[in-house]
């Protein structure tokens, strides 16, 4: 066989491979040029099951606001006892839900968290009693020898005990849900004004709700928090996330019924009717009457200062942060 | 005597000291945030500063655990004896009793509050549920393993069923029952604390379960560890009482107590 013929198969194979490589290279380069940059992945650890209290977060997801901002957000469902703030402080998630007192006490123990969004502009925490009870105020309840279901260690429990000294109220855990309250084993029940009273209303158990904010203790209750080191390294992404959250909340406030079916799918235990009622009840605590949509989610140094002062007085933290500005960040809009 | 006591105590004390030293060294070396892992020294400080509250908590939890344990021991020994006497009852009831150890206590604890009300009753009921099965199973196994030759001897001598139980089967089962009681002692404390998580009263005189939930809410991990230490001490105390009882009952005739 002539030498040329012997080399031919090799020549053909070489040219085929070269051509294939060229095509592949073109495809890869072309594809990369056409593809949008990978969205930044963020996780938000909730501290409770999907409910209207997280309505804006889910509305932003349903309307694709996160994707539009170039971020991919995973909303991780919580449950009773989910250590959400600790997960953010230990860097297991980028964002988590925490209350103001949790943030300040964690920071005192090395947590270094910063609040970037406050769902509520007025605390939704309260205490409910049955409407046919003799209690017409939180003071009446606290000056009785009733049994109240309330989480031990809550600063506002200390606040109430301090405000009404010598109280004989017996405090028991909230682990039984509302069963004990319903059958009268406890006379008072810690509640989110927009949650437990709604459940009672749907069960045709009339209740009276006393707001803790009105009684003088109005902390930031549902904050989105992140680790300071993460925030400093990812301010742009954090701002995109916060602005998407704000827009989500504005949309949810305007039309909760549009978004609640999606939330109800994630939490079949809560009826759509209950979600709609909860959304209505929380409306004015998310957006204070007369406030601008741009105020949604924002925080003030003054309110942080008041909370810090309260917590120091109650012995929940040793000292207030040197600068209240250091514990929160209002993202540029 | 002193030498014997030293030989008995040295290995566990040495292991505990080594573990504490390693823990403290790890905290110094890695400096984890206080809310993640407290140092042994911080836990010791929490024990010292909260000693009054912790002692009161230990007393409440200890009383509930002891009551639950005593009830479980009584019910377990009686039920085990009854089941060992009747093959029919054993086949019928033993599988149901086995379910007791499968009960997810955390899930039914809120129901215990609904059934028993707030306070010690729920904690005691919770302790009984978790500590009953080891006693029952140990009693049943111990009695069923009675030497058949001795059973025959009692039958030949026309001993009544009660005499055979009291003079033969029960003493024969004691080593096994003591083992079951030792396991139940630790479980009773765990059951009590789970009951306290959902059904105990908070306040100045709160039991260990409430101290733990309260400290967790306040991010006081040093206090959580201190409360866990106190709960372990209560468990050890109960375990010690059972071991002492076992020694008293067995020292004259059983190899395990010599």
**Contact B215/A at CB under 8 A:** yes
Question: Where a domain ends, among A189, A211, A233?
Answer: A211
- Burial zone of A151 (CB within 10 Å; 0-12 exposed, 13-18 middle, 19+ buried): middle
Q: Are A110 and A240 found together in one domain?
A: yes
Vertex B28 angle, CA B23 and B31, to 5°: 105
Q: Which chain B residue has its CA at the smallest distance from A177's CA?
A: B110
A161: CATH? 3.40.190.10
Verify whether the Cβ–Cβ distance B210 to A179 is below 8 Å: no
Tens-digit pLDDT profile for chain A (333 aa)?
444 444 444 444 545 555 554 555 554 444 544 556 678 899 999 999 999 999 999 999 999 999 999 999 999 999 888 999 999 999 999 999 999 999 999 999 999 999 999 999 999 999 999 999 999 999 999 999 999 999 888 898 999 999 999 888 999 998 878 989 998 999 999 999 999 999 999 999 999 999 999 888 999 999 999 999 999 999 999 999 999 999 999 999 999 999 999 999 999 999 999 999 999 999 999 999 999 999 999 999 999 999 999 999 999 999 999 887 889 999 998
Q: Are A197 and A53 found together in one domain?
A: no
**Contact A173/B at CB under 8 A:** yes
Residues in Cβ contact with B248 at an 8 Å cutoff, skipping those fewer than 6 apart: none
Domains and CATH numbers, chain B: 54-257 (1.10.3720.10)
- How confident is the model over B111-145, as pLDDT tens digits? 899 899 999 999 999 999 999 999 999 999 999 99
**Contact B213/A at CB under 8 A:** yes
In a domain, A22, yes or no: no
Q: Are A93 and A43 in contact (CB under 8 A)?
A: yes
**Range(s) of the domain holding residue A160:** 125-211
**Contact B122/A at CB under 8 A:** no
**Contact B157/A at CB under 8 A:** no
Q: Which residues of chain B have pLDDT under 70?
A: 1, 257-258
**pLDDT recorded at residue A5:** 44
**pLDDT recorded at residue B1:** 65
Q: Are A232 and A271 found together in one domain?
A: yes
Q: Which residues of chain A neighbour B109 with C-beta distances below 8 Å? A: 175
**pLDDT recorded at residue B257:** 64
**pLDDT recorded at residue A77:** 96
Verify whether the Cβ–Cβ distance B201 to A151 is below 8 Å: no
A105 vs B113, B198, B218: nearest CB: B218
Question: Where a domain ends, among A171, A190, A211?
Answer: A211
Verify whether the Cβ–Cβ distance B217 to A152 is below 8 Å: yes
Q: Are A206 and A224 found together in one domain?
A: no
Q: Are A260 and A165 found together in one domain?
A: no
For residues A243 and A237, give the distance between their C-alpha atoms in angstroms, rounded to a whole number.
Answer: 10
Q: Are A197 and A90 found together in one domain?
A: no
Question: Where a domain ends, among A193, A211, A229?
Answer: A211
Q: How many domains does chain A have?
A: 2
């Amino acid at each position: 066989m002539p030498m040329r013929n012997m080399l031919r198969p090799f020549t053909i194979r070489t040219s085929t491979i070269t051509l294939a490589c060229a095509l592949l290279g073109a495809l890869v380069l072309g594809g990369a040029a056409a593809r949008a940059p990978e969205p930044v992945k963020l996780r938000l650890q909730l501290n409770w099951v999907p409910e209207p209290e997280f309505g804006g977060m889910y509305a932003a997801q349903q309307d694709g606001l996160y994707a539009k901002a170039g971020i991919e957000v995973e909303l991780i469902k919580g449950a009773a006892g989910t250590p959400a703030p600790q997960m953010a402080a230990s860097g297991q998630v980028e964002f988590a839900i925490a209350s103001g007192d949790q943030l300040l006490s964690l920071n005192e123990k090395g947590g270094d968290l910063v609040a970037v969004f406050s769902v509520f502009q007025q605390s939704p925490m309260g205490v409910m009693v049955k409407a046919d009870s003799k209690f017409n105020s939180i003071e009446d309840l606290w000056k009785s020898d009733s049994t109240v279901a309330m989480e031990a260690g809550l600063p506002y429990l200390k606040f109430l005990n301090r405000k009404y000294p010598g109280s004989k109220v017996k405090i028991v855990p909230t682990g039984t849900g509302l069963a004990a309250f319903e059958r009268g084993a406890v006379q008072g029940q810690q509640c989110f004004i927009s949650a437990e009273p709604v459940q009672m209303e749907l069960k045709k158990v009339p209740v009276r709700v006393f707001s803790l904010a009105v009684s003088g203790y109005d902390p930031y209750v549902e904050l989105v928090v992140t680790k300071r080191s993460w925030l400093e390294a990812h301010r742009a992404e954090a701002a995109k996330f916060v602005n998407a959250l704000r827009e989500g909340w504005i949309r949810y406030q305007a039309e909760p019924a549009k978004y609640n079916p999606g939330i109800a799918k994630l939490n079949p235990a809560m009826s759509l009717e209950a979600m709609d009622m909860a959304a209505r009840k929380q409306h004015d605590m998310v957006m204070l009457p007369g406030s601008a949509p741009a105020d949604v989610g924002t925080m003030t140094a003054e309110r942080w200062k008041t909370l810090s002062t309260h917590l120091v007085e109650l012995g929940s933290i040793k000292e207030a942060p040197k600068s209240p500005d250091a514990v929160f960040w209002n993202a540029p809009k | 005597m002193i030498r014997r006591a030293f030989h008995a105590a040295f290995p566990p004390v040495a292991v505990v000291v080594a573990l504490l030293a390693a823990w403290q060294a790890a905290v110094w070396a890695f400096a984890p945030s206080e809310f993640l892992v407290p140092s042994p020294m911080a836990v010791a400080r929490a024990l010292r500063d909260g000693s009054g509250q912790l002692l009161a908590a230990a007393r409440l939890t200890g009383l509930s655990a002891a009551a639950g344990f005593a009830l479980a021991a009584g019910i377990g020994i009686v039920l085990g004896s009854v089941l060992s006497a009747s093959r029919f009852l054993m086949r019928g009831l033993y599988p149901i009793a086995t379910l007791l150890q499968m009960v997810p206590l955390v899930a039914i604890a809120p129901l215990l509050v609904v059934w028993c009300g707030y306070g010690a009753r729920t904690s005691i009921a919770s302790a009984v549920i978790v500590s009953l099965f080891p006693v029952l199973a140990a009693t049943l196994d111990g009695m069923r393993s009675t030497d058949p030759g001795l059973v025959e001897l009692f039958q030949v001598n026309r001993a009544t069923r009660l005499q055979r139980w009291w003079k033969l089967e029960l003493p024969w089962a004691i080593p096994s029952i003591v083992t079951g009681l030792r396991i139940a002692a630790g479980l009773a404390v765990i059951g009590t604390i789970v009951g306290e998580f959902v059904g105990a009263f908070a306040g100045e005189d709160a039991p260990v379960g409430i101290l733990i939930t309260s400290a967790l809410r306040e991010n006081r991990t040093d206090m959580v560890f201190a409360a866990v230490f106190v709960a372990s001490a209560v468990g050890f105390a109960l375990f010690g009482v059972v071991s002492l009882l076992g020694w008293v009952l067995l020292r004259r005739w059983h190899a395990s107590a010599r």
